Structure 1
Amino acid sequence: MKNKENFENIGRYFSQMYRKGRIFYSQELKKFGLGSGQSIFLFQLYKKDGVSQDELANTLYIDKGTTARSLKTLEEAGFIKREVSDSDKRVNIVRLTEKGLKLEPEITAVLKEWDRILAHSLSEEEQKTLLTLLKKISDSNLMK
């Protein structure tokens, strides 16, 4: 094992970026009445609206209880609506409301701004390499 002073931990940097991102999102999304915990669901619904609550939880790797609480908050704020599926009464389908849809450009701009902040000191080639490596890590089966 390496000397403690020389030990680099990849997870530490992921953790730092995650925490800094949550702070950034919290500050930027506060004006819309959103927290960083709810925004991830809106980001996903902007990609694919009208999905089941379970699909959202699985896609985002968030447990069902946390998903239900976040969606309840979004629903109470008028950003989404949950409807019982016609084909399976046990399934809730999550859809953006007009209020949620109207915010898409502003919410997406916040996401793009965070990406710009993260990549500001990287060349275009470094950004491409980083994105390729992050996709590779994310797509790998981390939990066996």
Structure 2
Amino acid sequence: MIIDDNDKGLGFLIAETARLHRKLLDRRLQPFGLTRAQWAVLAVLVRRDGRTQSEIAEELEIEKPTAGRLLDHLEQLAWIERRPTPADRRVWRVHIPPAARPRIAAVADVVRDTRHVMVQGLSADQQLLLVRQLGAIKTNMVAALGEAAGDPG
């Protein structure tokens, strides 16, 4: 494959695909009053309820104040609730209240459907190969960023 700055190659396709995914998902989450970022917080809590704001921020690779703003909004809409930790009053745990679980299940269905739209027409083997290849590309980029961070020039 020829790599040319004027060609709409791999980097363009990855970026454009990601942009379109974000746009479609945001559109589909709008009726729930959610954004992708807010859904990401909820997805973290679905996997393990009762995390702290710091743990959520770390897993999502976002700053703690950003996580705090997302949590504030989700709490206002009754998607989550914060509870004090008995062992340490400074630490609050974030939980999904029982009343929000059916709404979260409905949102999860929308997210799953959006993922199916993305891979429509690809066989299971092709999907697996694509995930592996994108994972390898991500690993290469993380390594390159690590090298660049250590490069004094």
Q: 1:49-64 maps to which residues of 2 (within 5 A)? A: 49-64=49-64
**What is the match of residue 8 of structure 1?**
9
Partners of 1:3 and 1:105 lie apart in 2 by 44
**What is the match of residue 66 of structure 1?**
66
Q: What is the Cα-based RMSD across aligned positions, in Å?
A: 2.4
Question: SS of the counterpart of 1:94?
Answer: strand
Report percent identity of matched pairs.
25
Asked whether the 8 Å contact 1:83–1:94 carries over to 2, the reply is yes
Unaligned runs of 5+ in 1: none
**What is the match of residue 103 of structure 1?**
103
What amino acid is the match of 1:5? N
Deviations 1:14-64 (A, max 9, x none): 332332222222221222221222111111211111111111111111111
**How much does 1:139 deviate?**
6.1
**What is the match of residue 91 of structure 2?**
91
Answer with 1 or 2: which has the greater Rg. 2
Structure 1's consecutive aligned runs of 4 or more residues displaced over 4 angstroms after TM superposition are 136-141
Partners of 1:91 and 1:136 lie apart in 2 by 37
